[in-house]
Amino acid sequence: MQGAVICARALAVAEVCRHLLGRYRGIWAMAWRILLACAALVLVYSIVAARHFWELALLAGDRGMELSIAAVVVAVLLFARYYDVQASAADRSLAVGFCLYSCFCVLNNTILEHYLHRYGALWNLLGMLAFLASLLLWTWALRKPQTEIVPEETLLSPVIYQTVAPQVNLRLRSLNDQLSKIWKPEVTRQ
Amino acid sequence: MSLTLILFFSFVAILLLALGWAVWEPRQRRKLEADPRSLEERGQRHATYLPQIRQALAPADYDFLSKREAPRELRRRVRRERLGVALAYLAALRGDFQSLLRMARVIAVLSPKVAAVHEFERLRLTAKFAWRYQMIRWKLLTGLAPMAQLAGLSDLVSGLSVRMETAMNELGERAAAAAELASSINRRGLDVV
């Protein structure tokens, strides 16, 4: 049951990501692959970092999924910031809610793993509170009906990017080389 | 505290910090501008003052003052004022660099196909530039950097501005031509596939 709920949440996060970046076809095509790779890496990290006991396997899996969800949300918001993509307040609040809830689950599960018997009741209570807080945030984000349909952006010809991007990078590289010459003048003198 | 606790707590702390930074929007941060002309204008501003900057950075005046055995105070004042000019120039270069980067990002956002290699390369170069910029600034402030070498930088940034301007002009011409072609086909009632 818990697995189904986490999978549903992961799908909801994927939908938020698509909603944030999907309008920009090129960026989205690159972003979803990076986000997926990021999620997989974080999952591997959490498996490697976890204590390896069979009785804690479910807990570790649950935590790994939660950590991946949180990492994906942060990564997509970083993408949006880097590319100056305007995210609606509702999308942002939903994403933040998902991230905070997942982060809290990770912390809660990590503590539970260490103090399984003493922490059980408190773990339940805190989990419930975190869920209610996130629910409150999502309700606030969606308090108004979301009827707006965002059309896909008018995109440029692919040739323009293919021509301009390498040129820009080449120039930036040269500029960096010049900076390094200023930083190390002895190299210039040679 | 066990290693597992430390690993997970620190990871979550990093995530929360990154989340805060991603969501936080400084007041002066401008919104994405659809019109790229404003970006071009910024790039051109720096190129306009290039001869004056070059003159200010030339070592000839220092040599002249030394030969004429000018008072120490005067030489110091000249050096101080030129340091100010060099720093302002460096800041202008950074402004140009950033506006060009922004333009590149706008092009990337509006392109139907984006290569991850180029994007990561630009990210890497940006980080490198930011680091070196700060280092050179400190070097200038402590009087360790030769000011004359700064002149070479402006050529690169100006060159990039000109290239970007050309690319933007080409972009506009192509878009206009495509629109013209599409409308003429539509007028003839042909089906575009």
Q: Is the pTM of this model over 0.90?
A: no
Which residues have a Cβ under 8 Å from the Cβ of A147 and sit 6 or more positions away? none
Alpha-carbon dihedral sign for residues A23, A25, A26, A31: positive
pLDDT tens for residues B44-95? 455 455 566 566 666 677 778 777 777 878 878 887 887 787 788 778 778 8
Owner of token pair 């697995």: A3
Tokens standing for residue A154: 């008018």
- Residue B115 phi, psi dihedral angles, 5° rounding: -90, 125
CA distances from A36 to A73, A159, B118, B149 (A): 11, 27, 19, 45
d(CA A100, CA A112): 18
Answer with the residue of higher pLDDT: B86 or B189.
B86
- Which value does ipTM take for this structure? 0.73
- Do B8 and A46 lie within an 8 Å CB cutoff? yes
d(CA A71, CA B8): 12
Tokens standing for residue A174: 């040269």
Chain B closest CA to A115's CA: distance in Å? 12
Res A50: pLDDT:
76
- Do B132 and A176 lie within an 8 Å CB cutoff? yes
- Do A67 and B109 lie within an 8 Å CB cutoff? no
d(CA A149, CA A23): 11
d(CA A109, CA A59): 7
pLDDT tens, position by position, for chain A (190 residues)?
777 888 888 999 999 898 888 888 888 888 899 999 999 999 888 888 876 677 667 778 888 999 999 999 999 999 898 888 888 888 888 899 999 999 988 888 888 777 766 667 777 788 788 888 888 888 887 777 766 656 656 666 777 777 777 777 777 776 666 666 655 544 444 4
State the virtual CA torsion across B151, A164, A18, A5 in degrees, nearest 10.
-60
